[in-house]
Structure 1
Amino acid sequence: MPNRFAHLPSRRAIIDRRVVADRLAVVEGGKGTGLRQAGTAILKQALDDGRAEIERRFAEHPTRGLETANAHAFLTDQLLRLLWDFTVQRIYPNTNPTAAERMTLIAVGGYGRGEMAPHSDIDLGFLTPWKRTAWCEQVIESMLYALWDMGLKVGHSSRSLDEMVRMAKSDVTIRTALLEGRYVWGDTDLYDEASRRFRSEVQSDTRGFIAQKLAERDQRHIKMGDSRYVVEPNVKEGKGGLRDLHTLFWIGKDAYGVQRAAELVEKGVLTRQEYRRFHRAENFLWAVRCHLHLLAGRAEDRLTFDMQREIAARMNYADRPGKLAVERFMQFYFLQAKTVGDLTGVFLAHLDETFASRGRRFGLPFIRRSPRKLHGFVLDRGRLALPGEQFFREDPVRLIEIFALADQHGLEVHPQAMRLAARDAKLIDEHRDDPRANALFIGVLTSPRDPETVLRWMNEAGVFGRFVPDFGRVVAQMQFDMYHHYTVDEHTIRAVGLLARIEQGKLKDEHPIATALFPQIVSRRALYVAVLLHDIAKGRGGDHSVLGAHVAERLCPRFGLSAAETEVVAWLVRWHLLMSATAFKRDLSDFKTILDFAGAVASPQRLMMLMVLTVVDIRAVGPGTWNGWKRQLIGDLYEAAEEVLRLGHKQRGRGERVVAKQEALARALGWDAPAFQRLVRKLPESYWVAEPLDVLERNARLIERAGHDKLSVDTQPDRERGATLVTIYAADHPGIFYRIAGAIHAAGGNIIDARIHTTREGMALDNFLVQDPLGRNFDDPGQLERLKAAIGDALLNRARITERLRAKPLPRPRADAFSIEPAVLIDNYASNRFTVIEVNARDRPALLFHLANALFQSKVTIHSAHVATYGERAVDTFYVTDLIGDKIDSASRMRAIERRLLEAAAGEGAMAEAA
């Protein structure tokens, strides 16, 4: 049998089987268990020495993933052969075995392929000709105990040949494992017989096996997020990972009888260049997986943020201007994942041609078969194909046209055409300024059908990045943070898809305002281009919004946009974060916030476009990023700014709005006039401006229930906002805000917004919006009771909050993988009445409590607090005054406040509680 590991250098430095065999030959330990344990100790030492040598080599050559995986399998082979011989010669010697006592040991699964990560399971199969004899059982049991004593994780089976065939026929997982079966040691004739029977009796239904493996792959992709561009990918099971390459190999082995992936070239399935890409991707992914196992000290296949930074350093990636080493490493990772996707398409196309005469196609369902020809392209079984291999070279604009036709006619692009498009993509370089090519591209981008799918095909073929080189620079580029779930190109394509679905009315329930606005937008083309370009300049160093506006000014005329459209696109790209920053970090009840925002936008059309762009940008970040609270804030800001832009300064005055709210509340409450007037006299004008009608009603009913009580807490889950409204009505005193914040954190809540009011009778009326640490509604009855109790204990001095928080485990340790320098901005111009303090810091448990405590120590009064979280980064904004209600304008006082807040943000400084 060929030596699978002949390519490994200096194999005896990993393990010298002869030397270890000599030690085992003279080991003493009596019989049975004692002898096995003595032999196991020698083998364990050989295992440790071999692993150390492999790790040493890997440290010297940290990109040699396949060699490292092969070396671990080689080491395992040698140890198993030694253990087998030791068991059958010393522990259970059988000098004259019967025909039934023949047995062979095979490697299956990944180990059978000859590839193992440092902490992979060892998958073994013990085969016997018939039912297992007592001697066979003893040998198997002894070997397994020895392997477990060596600290190895073993997956094993022991079957007769008939059992092997029967189970492989009925279970595709077993069939797949045995497909990779490889002889390790034992009776060679028995192994040859097993191989013959497997080929003749099991491998007869190749088509059924392929269909099952592809269905299995699709289910795995869905489970793993169904994108190869998730920012914490699973190297083994994720889309574009090792398992996808293994699936191709399994299918190739079953369909074409190949033993190694390189043989797929001889079978005509892959070209030599494609096999080199296959090998390069496989080697890289194996290197990453081996580093993961070594860093974790266990089997670990998820490439988490903390691991990404470590592995980038191990693989010798360095920082470059505008791009961290870890971002360069992950960009290369995603390019390899894309390669896996490309090769999958090529491979399935070949299978489709091979098995076409035997039934329906693999992959996508049938598509209508006419017309047969389309602008020189041909239709092959419902897919857009080429009449010849030189078709793109004869007219490179066809590289764009094929995708435009696919969009217009609802067709799939033939994988062979995708293969040739990838080969010839560079030819479009000379035709980027061609008006026809640009018109076709804009037609795809602004398609009323499914631009997301077709743009993704263009990206997979490499044509998108060639035609728009600025987009090519962000292909596979990740952002090293916990906020963005996808690479920049994937985020952008998803945003375009969301925009199309909003325009089609498919997201009306989730985005009613954006859906209603879309028909009023004058230039939908400008909006689509703005969505395409909003993140185009990421990774260049500097503000990507500013740099992106310059890119837009250069690209839009090439795309055929007018000067007016170009100006709008450049403005939208420059200010695409303005609306979300204002909505999430500023007090929308402060009219100056609305005036400043409206002044920056200056146009109702821009406001509508910015609104829709903001929605799709946030939604495309990833699952769970958009919620009811964000929808309300964005909607409130839009409506307030729209009123200013439509009516200017003639809008209803503050006093009129207060009266209108009071009249609406009176109708909702149904109280008699004297009772309602007593409520009105209690509350300041600012309260009526700040709170929406539903909160006003809940607050009023709480005040009524409280009567003369000095402390009352109400919780009301709010599905619409995706949070729970927590209202505290209590006697006001210094430090009340930070105590409440600490109590909410201690009870497991996460504060996303806070409005603080003081009645004219000296009572605090504070409204907090609270979610759980994962951004979901905080509505479990037990949680809410604990929350009420915690607030009561904190305000009545029955518990020390700092001690409770110190004892609480960290809910988000992943944020520790990021280094964020805290920053404090103090602004006396953002509001007419308050000093606005914005704190940027790494998110951590009870951050708001610590910041509020620092402000309490600084002797300032907090009037409202607004919390925005972007993955690991928190932005907490406070509207404050000094103790007599004036803005803080002393330079020395501002420096002292800044110092305290920086210490609190960094987890330093005094945390003494008020008496």
Structure 2
Amino acid sequence: MTYAQERAALLARNMPFGPDRRAALSDAADGWLIELLRAASGGDDSGLALVAIGGYGRREMVAGSDLDVLLLHARKRGLAEVADAVWYPIWDAGVKLDHSVRTVAEARAVAGEDLKALLGMLDMRHVAGDVGLTEQLRSTVLADWRSAATKRLPELRESAQERDRSNGELAFLLEPDLKESRGGLRDLVTLRAVQASWVADVPHSRIGPAHDRLLDVRDALHTVTGRSTDRLVLQEQENVASALGLLDAIALMRSLAEVGRTIAYASDITWRRVDQVLETRTRRFRIRGTAGKPAPRTPLADGVVQSEGEAVLARDADPARDPILVLRAAAAAAQAGIPLSPGTVDRLAASAKRLPEPWPDAAREELVRLLGAGRPAVAVWEALDLAGVMTTLIPDWARVSCRPQRNAVHRFTVDRHLVEAAANAAALTRRVARPDLLLVGCLLHDIGKGWPGDHSVVGATIVRDLAPRLGFSEADVEVLAMLVTHHLLLPDVATRRDLDDPKTIEAVANAVGTVENLDLLHALTEADALATGEAAWTPWRVNLIDTLVERARAALSGTPVPISSPLTDDQRALARDGAIDVHIGGAESGDSGTIVTVVSPDRLGLLATVAGVFGVHRLGVRSAVTETIDSAAVTVWTVQPDFGAPPDAAVLRGDIVRALDGSLDVSARLARREQAQVQKPGIAVPPPSVHVVADASDTATVLEVRAHDRPGLLHRVGRALSAAEVDIRSAKVSTWGAEAVDVFYVVDPVTGRALDEARAEAVRKSVLDALD
């Protein structure tokens, strides 16, 4: 049986994914190469050796692995014939091969110059032939690596950091690269190289199970796709989860998040140790006689000291007798801007237990101190969370731990997002009367995402149970519940409602109740958005939210609410009977988008026509407001290019004028573009929804449209509204990832008032039909 046949038989045997399967695939390859070298050398393999390197050398063969083989030699004659006799049968069998032919000196020289080649050779394993050659190369490469470690380890670290910058973090990506992402297989190779340098030890107990799990996922991915890919794309995640016996893709990605975070944390520990050793070596070289002196220990808190740049427990500290010590140590480390030592994390984890309920005031204060440290709190929390401490202290945390968000808007898992939000809030505590409520509110605002249902409503229920256990008073519990319930209120209202409508301001003021609560919610909104991603906190959204908060504060304070016309005096002055005019840019243009002011005789379908031109030019619409002055309509748009630079202003202006005078068929242009846009296979798009928002306005009917974003979506909706013979007073347009949420304030064109219930329902159905 050939290797290809034996390999196929092994894969068809449906062996469980794991070390035994990988070892069997490696053994099959070994047996074949032994036979090939024996045949090629005529039985005389002196001066010849086949060496497995890289993943094959580590016996990590999976379904799509290639053979990474070095033919090592000490011969001058007949070498080419031997090499051909080994390589050609492999190629003929269709097996992927990464090969090289070198002497020991040549291989040593390559390892000295090429870091990637060196990493592969550090994992070399003798397969066939002269074992002495393999041992000679192994010993020289290891000796060279160890002697040059002080110089080459920084090079290795820079290579790892560049890879991280290019490939993102495995734990938090929608479609991670199992090999190249931070926390992936390449980081494990790097850790093996550090271990081999003898400069620093690697926390093996933390990464062993993570390593095996990551290889299992890679093997399953190769098996279900039939390709040697390392990118775990969305459409394959359910299949891979099924192959591994997991419940669904969420369970798979949750498992990968834990694996990626474990490996990334082990990398951080290892590189910190490397830095300490290299710094000590440099210091001893510069200052003679310092060797053997103990590192100074500086007190940080009761039972916690600083030593060699880490927070450690004092010699007489006993976490078993002092249950608050874990929070005190965490807060002290974060406030000092240093990590907890791995040994301290292990000691705290071994003794961690649930605190008395309600928590003592000192425990709650240490939690707030930890969160209030800002950015350093993230690493401290992460270390304790991976060790299981946080789920012991706060059992509700288990439901969100490593839970993926499964959308392109969020850049972190739920638990990491919450910690990031709290870290962001630390910089905003001067803006609120109760910093403790802000910090804890940020930590818990998405706690409901671990349960079915509306996470804001579920989260408030959880907080009403959890916050008293943390020692908060009844009044404080209600404030925290309000923050969780309404943590999306400000961005939702600001981007989807008319801020000049008194009903909008009244609704927000009633929801928050007090100016102090409004300030808390405003700060939480900013911290949450910054933790979500760049798209959640753009200048455009900031301006809208600030305006909403200013007006809600006035309403709560009993002062006149500042209401302004949606148009500036200059924009109103542009209106004149019978003229079509387009102005691009202005003082309002900037990072939030380009302002386009369109003046035209008032008519139904105006918004749809102009929106269609923007769609043709790949301009995303952020907002649109309209005011009718005499017989002219002035519509002010805020637009941004989907990608690249905005189109030429003269071309855009010309197309808008042509579309308004009927010489440009916008619908036909958009239809051709939509037909050319190919949707990714295997991605289910939920159906669009359209509903009438009750009680959102006393002067207009509010329609909210939710749909998968696509070219011409706003044009399609606008045409349906014009066909229904209603006027669009204003539009709020938002895009979150691939989802559009568009809100339209519509009125009867004759009366200028909101539609009656029957007509509003008819308009809703017309828009939905147009989208279907």
Aligning the two structures, in what range does the TM-score lie when normalised by the shorter sequence? 0.7 to 0.9
Question: 1-side partners of 2:356 and 2:540: how far apart?
Answer: 48
Given that 2:119 and 2:193 are in contact with CA atoms closer than 8 Å, whether structure 1 keeps it comes out as yes
Note the alpha carbon deviations across 1:79-112, whole angstroms, 9 max, x for none. 55565566x37xxxx8999x8xx44332222222
Note the alpha carbon deviations across 1:375-416, whole angstroms, 9 max, x for none. 344543343223569932243322222112223444432221
> Is 1:608 matched with 2:481?
no
**Cα distance, 1:812–1:393 mapped onto 2, change above 3 Å:** farther
Note the alpha carbon deviations across 1:711-747, whole angstroms, 9 max, x for none. 5463569664421223333344433322322222222
1:582: Cα distance to partner?
Answer: 0.4
1:860 aligns with 726
1:431: Cα distance to partner?
Answer: 7.5
> Is 1:817 matched with 2:683?
yes
Given that 2:747 and 2:755 are in contact with CA atoms closer than 8 Å, whether structure 1 keeps it comes out as no
Aligned length: 762
1:666 aligns with none
Q: Residues 417-456 of structure 1: matches in 2 within 5 Å?
A: 417-425=344-352, 427-428=353-354, 433-447=359-373, 450-456=376-382
**Cα distance, 1:161–1:717 mapped onto 2, change above 3 Å:** farther
**Cα distance, 1:224–1:200 mapped onto 2, change above 3 Å:** closer
2:597 aligns with 727
> Is 1:315 matched with 2:260?
no
Q: 2:558 is paired with a residue of what secondary structure?
A: helix
2:216 aligns with 287
1:418: Cα distance to partner?
Answer: 1.6
1:155: Cα distance to partner?
Answer: 3.5
The partner residue of 2:396 within 447, 451, 470 is 470
Note the alpha carbon deviations across 1:131-167, whole angstroms, 9 max, x for none. x66x434554676666566555544333322122223
Q: 2:521 is paired with a residue of what secondary structure?
A: helix
**Cα distance, 1:249–1:450 mapped onto 2, change above 3 Å:** closer
> Is 1:194 matched with 2:137?
yes
Q: CA RMSD in A?
A: 3.8
**Cα distance, 1:751–1:555 mapped onto 2, change above 3 Å:** same
Given that 1:757 and 1:765 are in contact with CA atoms closer than 8 Å, whether structure 2 keeps it comes out as yes
1:487: Cα distance to partner?
Answer: 0.8
Q: Residues 61-100 of structure 1: matches in 2 within 5 Å?
A: 61=16, 64-78=17-31, 80=33, 88=40
> Is 1:240 matched with 2:183?
yes
**Cα distance, 1:194–1:411 mapped onto 2, change above 3 Å:** closer
The partner residue of 2:252 within 329, 347, 357 is 329
Given that 2:339 and 2:380 are in contact with CA atoms closer than 8 Å, whether structure 1 keeps it comes out as no
1:634 aligns with 545
Given that 1:236 and 1:301 are in contact with CA atoms closer than 8 Å, whether structure 2 keeps it comes out as yes
Note the alpha carbon deviations across 1:629-653, whole angstroms, 9 max, x for none. 11111111112222222334x456x
Question: 2-side partners of 1:368 and 1:340: how far apart?
Answer: 28
Question: 2-side partners of 1:124 and 1:535: how far apart?
Answer: 50
Q: Partner amino acid for 1:755? A: V
Question: 1-side partners of 2:528 and 2:546: how far apart?
Answer: 15
1:512 aligns with none
Mean alpha-carbon deviation: is it higher for 527-536 or for 841-850? 841-850
Question: 1-side partners of 2:145 and 2:609: how far apart?
Answer: 69
Q: Partner amino acid for 1:162? A: A
Question: 2-side partners of 1:772 and 1:147: how far apart?
Answer: 51
Note the alpha carbon deviations across 1:33-62, whole angstroms, 9 max, x for none. xxxxxxxxxxxxx63x5554454445x74x
1:494 aligns with 420
2:570 aligns with 697
**Cα distance, 1:95–1:298 mapped onto 2, change above 3 Å:** closer
Question: 2-side partners of 1:731 and 1:153: how far apart?
Answer: 68
TM-score (norm 2): 0.87
Q: 2:487 is paired with a residue of what secondary structure?
A: coil
1:495: Cα distance to partner?
Answer: 0.9
1:617: Cα distance to partner?
Answer: 0.9
TM-score (norm 1): 0.74
Given that 2:349 and 2:387 are in contact with CA atoms closer than 8 Å, whether structure 1 keeps it comes out as yes
2:114 aligns with 171
> Is 1:162 matched with 2:105?
yes
> Is 1:522 matched with 2:433?
yes
Given that 1:828 and 1:834 are in contact with CA atoms closer than 8 Å, whether structure 2 keeps it comes out as no
Q: 1:841 is paired with a residue of what secondary structure?
A: strand
1:445: Cα distance to partner?
Answer: 2.4
Q: Partner amino acid for 1:326? A: A
Question: 1-side partners of 2:463 and 2:415: how far apart?
Answer: 16
2:634 aligns with 765
Q: Partner amino acid for 1:223? A: S
Question: 2-side partners of 1:67 and 1:717: how far apart?
Answer: 67
> Which of structures 1 and 2 has the bigger CA Rg?
1
> Is 1:114 matched with 2:37?
no
1:23 aligns with none
Given that 1:860 and 1:880 are in contact with CA atoms closer than 8 Å, whether structure 2 keeps it comes out as yes
Mean alpha-carbon deviation: is it higher for 434-443 or for 711-720? 711-720
**Cα distance, 1:287–1:803 mapped onto 2, change above 3 Å:** farther
Given that 2:119 and 2:189 are in contact with CA atoms closer than 8 Å, whether structure 1 keeps it comes out as no
Any unmatched runs of 5+ in structure 2?
A: 285-293
1:458 aligns with 384
**Cα distance, 1:373–1:550 mapped onto 2, change above 3 Å:** closer
Q: 1:392 is paired with a residue of what secondary structure?
A: coil
Q: 2:99 is paired with a residue of what secondary structure?
A: strand
Question: 2-side partners of 1:96 and 1:549: how far apart?
Answer: 77
1:356: Cα distance to partner?
Answer: 9.1
Given that 2:357 and 2:470 are in contact with CA atoms closer than 8 Å, whether structure 1 keeps it comes out as no
> Is 1:740 matched with 2:666?
no
Given that 1:815 and 1:843 are in contact with CA atoms closer than 8 Å, whether structure 2 keeps it comes out as no
The partner residue of 1:125 within 57, 62, 70 is 70
Given that 2:578 and 2:600 are in contact with CA atoms closer than 8 Å, whether structure 1 keeps it comes out as no
Q: 2:611 is paired with a residue of what secondary structure?
A: helix
Q: Residues 406-417 of structure 1: matches in 2 within 5 Å?
A: 406-417=333-344
Q: Residues 499-514 of structure 1: matches in 2 within 5 Å?
A: 499-503=425-429
2:287 aligns with none
> Is 1:229 matched with 2:172?
yes
Note the alpha carbon deviations across 1:409-453, whole angstroms, 9 max, x for none. 44432221122223333x345677344333322222234784444
**Cα distance, 1:740–1:354 mapped onto 2, change above 3 Å:** closer
Question: 2-side partners of 1:66 and 1:431: how far apart?
Answer: 45
Note the alpha carbon deviations across 1:479-510, whole angstroms, 9 max, x for none. 2222222111111111111112344xxxxxxx
Q: Residues 257-656 of structure 1: matches in 2 within 5 Å?
A: 275=205, 278-318=207-247, 325-341=248-264, 343-344=266-267, 358=281, 369-371=296-298, 375-386=302-313, 391-425=318-352, 427-428=353-354, 433-447=359-373, 450-503=376-429, 518-519=430-431, 521-648=432-559, 650-651=560-561
Given that 2:703 and 2:745 are in contact with CA atoms closer than 8 Å, whether structure 1 keeps it comes out as yes
Q: Partner amino acid for 2:401? A: V
1:113: Cα distance to partner?
Answer: 1.4
Given that 1:753 and 1:770 are in contact with CA atoms closer than 8 Å, whether structure 2 keeps it comes out as yes
Question: 2-side partners of 1:891 and 1:373: how far apart?
Answer: 66
Question: 1-side partners of 2:492 and 2:598: how far apart?
Answer: 28
**Cα distance, 1:148–1:335 mapped onto 2, change above 3 Å:** same
Question: 1-side partners of 2:664 and 2:362: how far apart?
Answer: 75
> Is 1:875 matched with 2:741?
yes
Question: 2-side partners of 1:473 and 1:339: how far apart?
Answer: 18
1:620: Cα distance to partner?
Answer: 0.7
Any unmatched runs of 5+ in structure 1?
A: 1-18, 21-45, 258-263, 319-324, 362-366, 504-517, 658-688, 909-915
Question: 2-side partners of 1:498 and 1:529: how far apart?
Answer: 12
1:330: Cα distance to partner?
Answer: 1.9
1:565: Cα distance to partner?
Answer: 2.7
Q: 1:817 is paired with a residue of what secondary structure?
A: coil
Mean alpha-carbon deviation: is it higher for 534-543 or for 103-112? 103-112
1:563: Cα distance to partner?
Answer: 3.6
